[in-house]
């Protein structure tokens, strides 16, 4: 995503949620006609995928910059508490501020349509031992999107790709096979 990871620039330079999402939108647009893709979003990534499902072509609204960055103790106690220590160390070193886009029109759900977003099969993997978002809250969020299949992943913290990588991979393969 723009302003994240090893991409140049900072979160403050990204003016809209759509601009933040642009790398994914461009990748989806490059799929060959009829080609399918399994898109996996993590945490805030679910909202990113919702925009990719709609693939809008609007201009960028201007909004004040609001960023968030988790501190080392929060990462250790809430996000990576069941993950390998080396992954926590890497996260502490690589964490950058990110945007929340609270006032962006895309984030208020106004652009999601039954014809596009509603037509995409969705599966929510609940990280059962997430200390940031309780399993109950994750299930409640999934229930706000009718038609979303919910699968639990016991022993997973907020970073299931690190705390339960084999189990998550197996689950994603099952989902891909089911919805082929």
- Rounded alpha-carbon distances, angstroms, from residue 152 to 106, 120, 167: 28, 20, 11
The overall longest dimension of the chain from CA atoms, in Å, is: 46
Contact status, residue 13 vs residue 3, Cβ threshold 8 Å: yes
Checking phi first, is residue 163 left (phi over 0); if not, alpha (psi -120 to 50) or beta?
Answer: alpha
Question: Which amino acids are annotated catalytic?
Answer: 43, 130, 158
Report the candidate in 148, 77, 105 with the shortest Cα–Cα distance to residue 18.
Answer: 105
Contact status, residue 128 vs residue 135, Cβ threshold 8 Å: yes
């Amino acid at each position: 995503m723009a302003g994240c990871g090893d991409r140049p620039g900072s979160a403050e330079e990204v003016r809209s949620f759509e601009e933040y999402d642009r790398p994914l939108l461009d990748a989806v647009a490059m799929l060959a006609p009829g080609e399918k893709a399994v898109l996996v979003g993590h945490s805030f990534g679910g909202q990113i995928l919702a925009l990719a499902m709609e693939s809008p072509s609007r201009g960028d609204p201007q909004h004040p910059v609001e960023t968030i960055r988790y501190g080392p103790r929060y990462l250790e106690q809430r996000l990576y508490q069941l993950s390998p220590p080396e992954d926590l160390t890497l996260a502490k070193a690589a964490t950058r501020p990110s945007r929340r886009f609270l006032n962006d029109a895309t984030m208020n759900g106004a652009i999601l349509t039954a014809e596009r977003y509603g037509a995409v099969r969705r599966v929510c993997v609940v990280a059962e031992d997430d200390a940031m978002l309780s399993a109950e809250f994750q299930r409640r969020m999934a229930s706000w999107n009718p038609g979303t299949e919910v699968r639990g992943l016991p022993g997973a913290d907020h970073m299931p790709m690190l705390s339960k990588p084999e189990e998550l991979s197996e689950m994603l393969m099952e989902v891909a096979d089911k919805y082929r």
